[in-house]
């Protein structure tokens, strides 16, 4: 705004000088002086309005500063009130905090007393449990030993029974083998006897056939001998002049 005022003043001065110069050199141009006067009045009016604006601005600044000062005083009062309230709250908080701390200390003391009691009680319980466990362990060891002894006895009995069964099975197998060997031997003997009987029967049959053949040969020999003898006699008789009748083969010889 200040720059505008300076420019307006410079313009007015230029117009006035221009008007004066026009009047000196050109008397005909008085109208320009009128224009310059009007411009000067306009500038004065503008300056008055500018001053009014400046006064209004100053008044506004003063009012704003008064308001700010009032706000600062109000804020100071509020801050003082807040500080007082905070101090009271701090005192109340401290009292409450102390009460909480005392309650917490009491609770901690009570908990520690309870924990100490629990530890002592736990120690008693653990001692009792240990004693019961020791008794249970002894009882378990006795029962376990009894079970082990019974198991050992059962295993020994089972092994004795298995050994007896094995020996019995060995005896049975030996008996079965002996029976099988005897039966095999008997079967072999039967087969051998059958072979011998068959061989004897074959020899007997062969001998019977040979005997029949010998008998037949003997009969043939006898027949041949008788025929031969008859022919020999006949021939002898013929040589001696006898004409005796000679029977043919198979017929009885007659002298």
Residue showing tokens 């002898």:
236
Residue given tokens 């003043």 in the structure block: 9
According to the model, what pLDDT value does residue 11 have? 58
CA dihedral 28, 31, 36, 41 (to 10 degrees): 150
* Residue 58 covered by a domain: yes
The answer to whether residue 14 is domain-embedded is: yes
Answer yes or no: is pLDDT of 217 > 50.
Answer: yes
Dihedral (Cα; 72, 75, 80, 81), 10-degree rounding: 150
Could you list the residue range(s) of the whole structural domain that residue 47 is in? 2-102
**Residue 221 covered by a domain:** no
Please say if the pLDDT value at position 250 is more than 70.
Answer: no
Q: How many domains does the chain have?
A: 1
* The pLDDT of residue 92: 85
pLDDT in tens, 61-91: 999 999 999 999 999 999 898 888 888 878 8
Task: Spell 152-189 as b/e; 16+ CB within 10 A means b.
Answer: eeeeeeeeeeeeeeeeeeeeeeeeeeeeeeeeeeeeee
Are the CB atoms for 244 and 255 separated by under 8 Å? yes
The yes-or-no verdict on residue 21 having pLDDT over 70 is: no
Q: In the structure, what pLDDT confidence band is assigned to residue 172 with cuts at 50, 70 and 90? A: very high
Q: What is the pLDDT of residues 37-46, one digit of tens each?
A: 787 888 888 8
Task: Say what the pLDDT of residue 238 is.
Answer: 67
pLDDT tens digits, one per residue of 42-62: 888 888 999 999 999 999 999
Distance, CA of 253 to CA of 211 (rounded, Å)? 29
pLDDT class of 255 with cuts at 50, 70, 90:
very low
Q: pLDDT tier at 3 (50, 70, 90 boundaries)? A: very low
pTM: 0.26
Residue 30 domain-assigned (yes or no): yes
- Is 84 within the bounds of a domain? yes
SS3 at position 248? coil
Residue 250 and residue 227 in contact, taking contact as beta carbons nearer than 8 Å: no
Q: What is the pLDDT of residue 73?
A: 92
Cβ-Cβ contacts under 8 Å for 11 (sequence gap 6 or more)? 39
Q: Say if 231 falls within a structural domain.
A: no
Gap between the Cα atoms of 112 and 93, Å rounded: 27
Greater model confidence, 157 or 25? 157
Question: CA-CA distance, 183 to 189, in Å (whole number)?
Answer: 9
**What rounded mean pLDDT belongs to the chain?**
81
- The answer to whether position 107 is within a domain reads no
Residues 6+ apart with CB under 8 A from 52: none
Would you say how long the chain is, in residues? Answer: 255
Calculate mean pLDDT across residues 2-13: 53
- For residues 4 and 42, is the Cβ–Cβ distance under 8 A? no
pLDDT score recorded for residue 52: 92
Q: Which two tokens stand for residue 135?
A: 């008794």
Please check whether residue 12 lies inside any domain of the structure: yes
């Amino acid at each position: 705004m200040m720059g505008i005022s300076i420019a307006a003043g410079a313009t007015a001065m230029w117009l006035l000088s221009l008007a004066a110069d026009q009047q000196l050199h050109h008397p005909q141009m008085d109208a320009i002086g009128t224009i310059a006067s009007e411009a000067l009045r306009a500038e004065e009016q503008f300056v008055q309005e500018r001053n009014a604006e400046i006064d209004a601005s100053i008044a506004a600044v003063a009012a704003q500063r008064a308001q700010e000062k009032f706000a600062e005083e109000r804020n100071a009062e509020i801050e003082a009130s807040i500080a007082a309230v905070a101090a009271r709250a701090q005192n109340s908080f401290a009292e409450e905090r102390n009460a909480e701390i005392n309650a917490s200390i009491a609770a901690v003391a009570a908990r520690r007393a309870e924990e100490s009691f629990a530890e002592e009680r736990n120690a008693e319980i653990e001692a009792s449990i240990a004693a019961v466990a020791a008794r249970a362990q002894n009882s378990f060891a006795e029962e376990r030993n009894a079970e082990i002894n019974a198991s050992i006895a059962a295993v020994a009995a089972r092994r004795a029974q298995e050994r007896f069964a094995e020996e019995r099975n060995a005896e049975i197998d030996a008996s079965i083998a002996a029976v099988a060997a005897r039966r095999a031997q008997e079967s072999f003997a039967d087969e051998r006897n059958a072979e011998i009987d068959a061989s004897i029967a074959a020899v007997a049959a062969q001998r019977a056939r040979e005997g029949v053949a010998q008998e037949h040969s003997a009969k043939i020999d006898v027949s041949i001998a008788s025929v031969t003898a008859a022919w020999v006699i006949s021939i002898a008789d013929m040589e001696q002049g006898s004409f005796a009748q000679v029977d043919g083969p198979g017929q009885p010889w007659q002298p």
